[in-house]
Chains A and B, each alone.
Chain A
C-alpha cells in the first residue's frame, strides 16, 4: 500500500507538470478531470449496486446554473460559480433523489434516464431561456477578483480542477470508508439486513445520491467554464452512458479508477477521433466488451493483478 501511495503522488505530480511541457494538454486534462468527477459520482452509487443512466442531468444542470449565475453576476467569479453549480445540482439531486431512491436496479437506472431526457427536452424546447440547441455562452469568469487572459486563465483553471479533484477524491474515499459509506455497500449485499439494523436504506441512498449529484455538478461547471459554452448535449443520454462506461473502464468502486478511466478514455477518444473518425464508437464498444469479458475489474484491477505478480510472496496487493 505504501508503494501505491508513492506511485499515486508521482502520477499526480506528473499530471500537474504535464501542461508545462505540453501546453495543448491542459484543455484535455481539465475535461478529463471534469468527467472524472462525474464518474466519481457514478462510483459512489455503484457502491450501493445502483447504476444511474442519467447522471448527465446533474452535469448539465450545474453547467446551466453556472451560466445563468455568470450572466446575473456580470461575469462572475470562478470559485463562486463552482460553489453555485454544485449547490444547484445538489438541490436538484435532493429533489430527484427523493423520488428515485425508492427504486432499485433497472428501475433506478431507467428513472434517472427519464429525468435526464426530460431535462434535455426542456433545454431544447424552451429556447427563450436556454438558447435551445445553440446553448448559452459562458464568458470567462475572474479568479479571486482578477480578470485573466485566455492562456493564464486556462492554466489557473487546470490547477483549480486538479486541486478540486484531489480534495473531492480524498473526501469521497473517506466517505466510502465511513459508517454511512459502509451502510451504502450493505444496500448492495443485503438491504433487508440493513433495515433490521435500524438503518434506513432510503436515507443512506439519498445521502449518497446528493453527494453523487454534487460531484457531477462540480464536473459540469468545470467543463462549462473550460468550453465557455453550455449546450443541451451536456444532458444527452449518450453522455450519461459515457460516465457509466468510464466507471467500469476504470474499475467500479475505486476513487482512483474514476480518474484513471477518464484520462484513458479521453486520451483514446482524442486519438481515435483523429485516426478513425467514423469508427471510434465502434472501437470503444469493442474495448468495453473486452474489458467486461476479460477484465471486469477495470484498469485498477488490471494494475493490482500486474503489481501483485511482482510483489514479494505472501503479501497481497491491495
Chain B
C-alpha cells in the first residue's frame, strides 16, 4: 500500500472514530454510573442528526451563511438531547432500577423503538443531506492530499474537547465527584448524603446530550436516514464492550482502534468493512474477557 492510501485510511478512520466516540462515551458513562446498557442511545444519535440536517437545510434555503449551522446544530442538539434525557429518566427509567437487568435492557429497547417511529412521523422516510457546512469549511492539505477540513479538524477536535471536558468535569468539579462516587459505590455515596436519583438524572442527561451532539456533528458528512440509529447503536456497543464497560478514556482508545480498523478494511478488503469492529471485539474479548480496560468484578459466594 502506498502512502496516499495509508494517509487517507488514517484520516477516514480518525474522523469515523470521532463520531463513534461521541455516542460510545455517553453510553459507557451511563453504564458506569447507572449500570444500564442504554439501547435508546442510538435513537438520541439519530434525532440529533435529523435536527442538525433540518437546521442546515433551513439555513441554506434562507440564504444565510452556512457557518451559522455550527452554533445552531450545537444548540439544537443539546436542547433536544437535554429535554429527551430529562423526561425519559424522570418518567420511565426511574421506575426500573429495582428490576432485573434483562428487563432494564428491554425498557431501553422499547424506548428505542418508540423513538424510531417518532423520527419517521416527524421527519418522514426520505433521506436528508445538508453538507453546506462541510463545503464552506473547504479542504486542507495533509501530506499533499486535499481532505475536507470538517472531517480532519472539526470532528476530531470536538471529540478531543469532549474527552478532555468530561475528564475535567468528572475529576475536578463537585458534581463530577458526586457522579464518580455514585459510580464507585452507590450505597456508600447515598449514606454520605448524595442524592442518587439526582445524580442518575444528571448522568443520563449528559449521556443523551452527547449522543445527540454526536448525531448533529455526523449529519453534515452523511445522508441522514432511517436506520442510522440502529447501525450506530450496534457499533458503539462494540466500542463500549471492547473498551470495558464504564471506561471513558478506554472508549476513546477503542473508538480509534475500531475506526482505523474499519477504514483500513475499506481500502484493503472492502468485503470485510462491516465485520471489522466485531472481529476486533471478539479478538479482544478472547484475550481479555472484561474488555481492554475493564476490571474483574468480585464474585459473591
Q: Which residues of A contact B282 (CB under 8 A)?
A: 99, 111, 114
Taking A107-B285, A110-B237 as contacts, is the C-beta distance between A125 and B271 under 8 angstroms?
A: yes
Could you tell me if B102 and A46 are in contact, using CB atoms closer than 8 angstroms?
A: yes
B234 proximal to A (CB < 8 A): yes
How far does the alpha carbon of A192 sit from the alpha carbon of B96 in the complex, in Å?
A: 27
Could you tell me if A288 and B102 are in contact, using CB atoms closer than 8 angstroms?
A: no
CB distance from A153 to the nearest CB of B (A): 35
Could you tell me if A293 and B95 are in contact, using CB atoms closer than 8 angstroms?
A: yes
Could you tell me if B113 and A285 are in contact, using CB atoms closer than 8 angstroms?
A: yes
Could you tell me if A125 and B107 are in contact, using CB atoms closer than 8 angstroms?
A: no
A residues 125-178 near B (Cβ < 8 Å) are 125-126
B177 proximal to A (CB < 8 A): no
Could you tell me if B96 and A292 are in contact, using CB atoms closer than 8 angstroms?
A: yes
B299 proximal to A (CB < 8 A): yes
A241 proximal to B (CB < 8 A): yes
How far does the alpha carbon of A138 sit from the alpha carbon of B135 in the complex, in Å?
A: 49
Among B110, B118, B238, B275, point to the contact of A292 (Cβ < 8 A). Answer: B110
Q: Which residues of B contact A282 (CB under 8 A)?
A: 113-114, 116-118, 121
B172 proximal to A (CB < 8 A): no
Q: Which residues of A contact B245 (CB under 8 A)?
A: 106
Which A-chain residue is minimally distant from B278 (CB atoms)? A114
Among B105, B230, B274, B290, point to the contact of A237 (Cβ < 8 A). Answer: B230
Query: How many pairs, one residue from A and one from B, have CB atoms within 8 Å of each other in the complex?
Result: 114
Size bin of chain B's contact surface: 35 or more
Among B117, B234, B238, B300, point to the contact of A279 (Cβ < 8 A). Answer: B117
Per-position binary interface string of chain B over residues 142-165, scored 1 when its CB falls under 8 Å from any chain A CB and 0 otherwise: 000000000000000000000000
How far does the alpha carbon of A81 sit from the alpha carbon of B218 in the complex, in Å?
A: 46
Among B92, B101, B105, B300, point to the contact of A289 (Cβ < 8 A). Answer: B92
B residues 106-143 near A (Cβ < 8 Å) are 106-107, 109-114, 116-118, 120-121
How far does the alpha carbon of A99 sit from the alpha carbon of B101 in the complex, in Å?
A: 22
Could you tell me if B230 and A51 are in contact, using CB atoms closer than 8 angstroms?
A: no
Per-position binary interface string of chain B over residues 248-284, scored 1 when its CB falls under 8 Å from any chain A CB and 0 otherwise: 0000000000000000000000010011001101100
How far does the alpha carbon of A279 sit from the alpha carbon of B237 in the complex, in Å?
A: 27
How far does the alpha carbon of A193 sit from the alpha carbon of B300 in the complex, in Å?
A: 9
CB distance from A125 to the nearest CB of B (A): 5
How far does the alpha carbon of A121 sit from the alpha carbon of B289 in the complex, in Å?
A: 24
Per-position binary interface string of chain A over residues 225-244, scored 1 when its CB falls under 8 Å from any chain B CB and 0 otherwise: 00000000000011001001
Taking A46-B102, A192-B300, A193-B301 as contacts, is the C-beta distance between A113 and B237 under 8 angstroms?
A: yes
B103 proximal to A (CB < 8 A): yes
Taking A241-B109, A292-B110, A293-B95 as contacts, is the C-beta distance between A102 and B117 under 8 angstroms?
A: no
Could you tell me if B271 and A296 are in contact, using CB atoms closer than 8 angstroms?
A: no
Size bin of chain A's contact surface: 35 or more
How far does the alpha carbon of A248 sit from the alpha carbon of B92 in the complex, in Å?
A: 18
How far does the alpha carbon of A296 sit from the alpha carbon of B95 in the complex, in Å?
A: 12
How far does the alpha carbon of A109 sit from the alpha carbon of B111 in the complex, in Å?
A: 19
Could you tell me if B278 and A288 are in contact, using CB atoms closer than 8 angstroms?
A: no
Could you tell me if B105 and A51 are in contact, using CB atoms closer than 8 angstroms?
A: yes
Most chain A CB within a 10 A radius of its CB, from B113, B118, B230, B286: B113
Taking A192-B299, A281-B113, A286-B114 as contacts, is the C-beta distance between A121 and B105 under 8 angstroms?
A: no
Could you tell me if B230 and A190 are in contact, using CB atoms closer than 8 angstroms?
A: no
Q: Which residues of B contact A280 (CB under 8 A)?
A: 117
Among A105, A111, A121, A245, point to the contact of B275 (Cβ < 8 A). Answer: A121
CB distance from B257 to the nearest CB of A (A): 15
B37 proximal to A (CB < 8 A): yes
Given contacts A107-B290, A281-B116, 5 further A-B contacts (CB under 8 A): A121-B275, A192-B300, A245-B109, A285-B112, A288-B107
Sample (25) of A-B pairs whose CB atoms are under 8 Å apart? A106-B241, A109-B105, A110-B238, A111-B281, A113-B234, A114-B238, A117-B234, A191-B299, A192-B301, A237-B230, A241-B109, A280-B117, A281-B114, A281-B116, A282-B114, A284-B113, A288-B107, A288-B109, A289-B111, A292-B103, A292-B107, A292-B110, A293-B92, A296-B100, A296-B103
Binding site for B on A (CB under 8 A): 46, 49, 51, 99, 102-103, 105-107, 109-111, 113-115, 117-118, 121-122, 125-126, 190-193, 237-238, 241, 244-245, 248, 252, 278-282, 284-286, 288-289, 292-293, 296
